[in-house]
Amino acid sequence: MDLAYDRSSVTEPIALKGGHRRDGDEPLLVPGETCWKIAPAQRFAVLIDAADYYANLRRAIIAAEHAVVIVGWDIDSRTRLVPEKKPKDGYPATLLPFLQAVLEKKPDLHIVLLAWDFSMIYAFEREFLPGFTFRSKAHPRLHFVLDGAHALGASHHQKIAVIDGCVAFTGGMDLTIRRWDRSAHAAKEPARVDPAGEPYAPMHDVQVAVDGDAAGEIHELVRVRLEHALQYAEQSADHVPPPKLPEPQPQCAGTVWPSALKPDFEGVEVGISRTHASTSGDEADVREIAALTRAALLTARKYVFIENQYLTAALAGDALAQSLAEAEGPEIVAVLPKAESGWLEQSSMGVLRARMLEHVRRADKYERLHIYYPRVPDLGDRSVNVHSKVLIIDDKFLKIGSSNLSNRSLGLDTECDLSIEAAEGDERVQKAVQRVLCRLLGEHLELDPDACVRALDEAGSLTALIESRRGQPRSLELLDWTAEDAPLNLEALGELVVDPERPMGADAFVKGLLPAEVRLPIARSLLATVGMILPMALVFWFWNSLPDDVSSTDRVLHLLTSVRNHPLGFLYVCGAYAVLGLAFVPITALIGATALVFEPGRAFVYSLSGALLSATVAYGVGRLAGTHALRQLDGPRLRKLRSQLHAQAFRATVVARLLPVGNFTVINMFAGALRVPLLSFLAGNVVGMCFGIGGITFLADRLAAAWNAPTLSSVVTLLVYVVGLFGVSLALSKLFERHKRK
């Protein structure tokens, strides 16, 4: 597989000295370039797996006095924080009852939950109507906010909890179901079940806890995001928005920090890096994590250790390939999931991962690339789901956070990572970084951290240690990424939908919805029409090849005749257009089907009437529901477009309808959301669609004639008509374009 990334879409946020790597004495963490801020922390602890994180977060929330803010990609009220049904601390085990019980005992405490207003693609994987659940059953000082204020196509992927502004947690773990697990990842873990009692695969993840000024800065990051979200959030009339968050209370760290949580670092400087795509043309994208990731990978001299859910980012893949191509470079060890979870991820991110790993492997001239997955005994066909986001380099640099090594995490989604960089000669921090490395490796290799440190010193390299433990019950096994058999191959949608590097701005969004205004319609129209004719021809061939007793031709003809002759046939057809249009059935398919059932004259009238009704219904849906969706696109360019469409609605609609193919329903909804004048919109539809509907109707009639009587004359007539159809369409398009330029 060849990589063909459009590198013009990858913004290089910083210029690396020499174009390759930073000098040894040049810091990786540079505010304004590779991080937002650098702030001191008295304590910095790495929590491995959700059993550790959830238990310590629970203790910190119990100790809170003023404000708890939880930010998540997903927050589920049913999340079990501890495995016991009756915890020893006396509080409920699951999230929502636990938070309510804490609030009952703390009269001055407010708890704010800020969750991503998620895409409908996740609707069946998440709690149904979480906003209703939290608001209808919750304490009045428990505030639930759905945050949809982000760039088009992005998600809010941060996983943060801040307690009284003095202790903060961030990393890869949300407070949601199917995340809890112990570090043993035992095949038979009775507590690893979802709310329905169904067991799920082992889950490996990593979170960080910090205090001091670092926690205060994370508190500020969350405060700004909450205020931004509240400007866009649609609150019910009886819902009271959360109060303004109080200032950080650093003096509370001594009581809020869980007493049993031993820090891995003490008295260190912490870099806070972000990804944030602009929601308007008035602000720049924030790509500090991308800049830091690239700089760190290219600085490595001894080793690169990666734990990540994905490895699909062009920026990371290119940096790894560049490092591997050098004769004197680091060994690269990556721990990834054995397979992506679910058919959708296998078909999308799984295919992109295989492509990326193949690209990196081809650069591995000196055999320093080693990709592994965790092996746990007795799992059968299941495997450990690696969900962590960790990067460790040369015992000198550690980064943990919410960002995957994916394009969208480095350029599109909202992310937050924390990093520690050891200064040259700082053995204290270097040993602490190595110990975190050995805590992670030790879990996978079934070694305690001290034993792992000794074994690593004896082995001399990460790969040598890992290979020496192969064959043990728990080990890291080589990943065969070529063996993953995806149900579908959605690679073609990779950089556009699945794993984009940058947001789709208003111009690009309109470009996809109004192709006649911003791109040549003829090539797309030709492909769409061929795509319509080919299935029709195949159906004709297949149906006619079957014996009558199998194909039931008479019954089908009887059904079609009934529809054709039914007194309410016109209403049936119009209703079908309206309903199927909302289901995004292509308008060309509906017109073609109408042409096959009715004679050309009636087919034309029925198709035009049905298409107009479908356009009106979709326009109404867009007008009612589209205003909120367009807020995130609002900016100078969109306002200019809206002004142009209002002034030239008739002309723009005619051009878009010269041949009725493409995003018919989406264009109609978008027109409604932009409040394009309805009469001009409908008039443009009538004028623009008459030619296309007439053309497709006659085309279907000629196709049927050529099929039933395949003479040279009928076939030539069909071909001449197709060429003429697109010739006239092109001429009309050019005519409108020239008129517009005048």
Which tens digit of pLDDT belongs to each residue from 701-740? Answer: 666 666 666 677 766 766 776 666 666 655 655 555 454 4
Rounded CA separation 719/412 (Å) = 46
In 3D, which of 202, 207, 205, 204 has the Cα closest to residue 192?
A: 202
pLDDT digits (tens, 9 = 90+) for 286-317: 999 999 999 999 999 999 999 999 999 999 99
Average pLDDT score over the chain: 80
Both tokens of residue 313? 């980012």
pLDDT given at position 122 = 55
The per-residue pLDDT for 635 is: 47
Q: Determine the residue type at 480.
A: D
The token pair that represents 149 in the structure block: 């204020």
> In the structure, what pLDDT confidence band is assigned to residue 14 with cuts at 50, 70 and 90?
very low
Residues 6+ apart with CB under 8 A from 159: 71, 72, 73, 170, 171, 172, 173, 174, 207, 402
Question: Up-side HSE of residue 614: CA atoms within 13 Å toward CB?
Answer: 33
* Helices and strands, number each (H, E), in the chain: 26, 18
Q: How far apart are the first and last CA of the chain?
A: 48
Residue 170 lies in a domain: yes
Q: What is the pLDDT of residue 669?
A: 79
- pLDDT number for residue 509: 40
Last residue of a domain, one of 227, 256, 285: 256
Q: What is the pLDDT of residue 524?
A: 40
Confirm whether 674 is domain-assigned.
yes
Place of tokens 């191959």: 489
> Which of 211, 230, 256 finishes a domain?
256
| Residue 412 within any structural domain of the chain | no
CA angle (46 as vertex; 43, 49 as ends), nearest 5? 150
What band does 113 get if pLDDT is binned at 50, 70 and 90?
very high
DSSP 31: B
Structure tokens at 488: 């579908």
Domain that holds residue 683: 504-741
Average pLDDT over residues 233-256: 74
CA–CA distances in Å: residue 384 to residues 172, 186, 338, 495: 15, 10, 8, 27
User: pLDDT for 148-184, tens place per residue?
Assistant: 777 777 888 999 999 999 999 999 999 999 999 999 9
As a whole number of angstroms, the distance between CA 572 and CA 181 comes to 55
Question: The CATH number of the domain where 160 resides is what?
Answer: 3.30.870.10
| Out of 255-269, 341-355, 460-474, least confident range | 341-355
Q: How far apart are CA 461 and CA 457, in angstroms?
A: 8
pLDDT score, position 685 = 83
What is the per-residue pLDDT for 75?
93
Task: Look at residue 130 and tell me whether its pLDDT is greater than 60.
Answer: yes
Q: Percentage of the chain surpassing pLDDT 90? A: 48
Given a cut of 50, whether residue 632 has pLDDT beyond it is no
The pLDDT of 323-333, averaged and rounded, is 95
**Beta bridge mates, 41:** 268
Q: What is the dihedral of CA 479, 483, 488, 492, to 10 degrees?
A: 70
Q: Checking phi first, is residue 90 left (phi over 0); if not, alpha (psi -120 to 50) or beta? A: left
Say which DSSP state 507 is in.
H
Q: What integer pLDDT is reported at residue 373 of this predicted model?
A: 96
Least confident of 140-149, 208-217, 231-240: 231-240
Task: Identify the weakest region by mean pLDDT among 137-146, 489-498, 515-524.
Answer: 515-524
Helix H, strand E, coil C: the string for 54-71 is: HHHHHHHHHCCCCEEEEE
Higher-pLDDT residue of 138 and 140 is 140
Over the stretch 525-563, which tens digit does the pLDDT of each residue have?
A: 444 444 444 444 544 555 555 555 544 445 445 555 666
* Whether 116 contacts 73, CB under 8 Å: yes
The pTM of the whole model exceeds 0.75: no
Last residue of a domain, one of 256, 277, 297: 256
When pLDDT is averaged across residues 496-514 and rounded to a whole number, the result is 47
**Rg of the chain over CA atoms, in angstroms?**
30
pLDDT digits (tens, 9 = 90+) for 52-106: 999 999 999 999 999 999 999 999 999 999 999 899 999 999 999 999 999 999 9
Region 590-618 average pLDDT = 86
Contact 373, 476 (CB under 8 A): yes
- Answer whether 469's CB lies under 8 Å from 445's CB: yes
Determine, yes or no, domain membership for 240: yes
The residue whose two tokens read 């649609």 is: 234
Q: Across residues 478-500, what is the average pLDDT?
A: 58
pLDDT in tens, 340-362: 765 556 556 777 888 899 999 99
- The answer on pLDDT for 494 being more than 50 is no
Answer yes or no: is 482 within a domain: no
pLDDT category at 644 given cuts 50, 70, 90 is: low
Q: How far is CA 72 from the centre of its chain?
A: 14
pLDDT score at 579:
85
More confident position, 520 or 217: 217
For residue 575, tell me if it sits in a domain: yes
Q: Is the pLDDT of residue 383 over 60?
A: yes
What's the domain count of the chain?
Answer: 2
Between 205 and 668, name the one with better pLDDT.
205
- Buried/exposed 191-209: b ≥16 CB within 10 Å, e otherwise: ebbeeeeeebbbbbbbbbb
> What's the confidence (pLDDT) of residue 20?
39
Place of tokens 């760190």: 296
In a domain, 709, yes or no: yes
Closest CA to 320 of 328, 308, 329: 329
pLDDT score of 18: 31
Rounded percentage of the chain residues whose pLDDT exceeds 70: 70
The residue among 617, 608, 609, 606 whose CA lies nearest residue 581 is 617
Per-residue confidence (pLDDT) for residue 708, from 0 to 100 = 64
Is 458 part of any domain? no
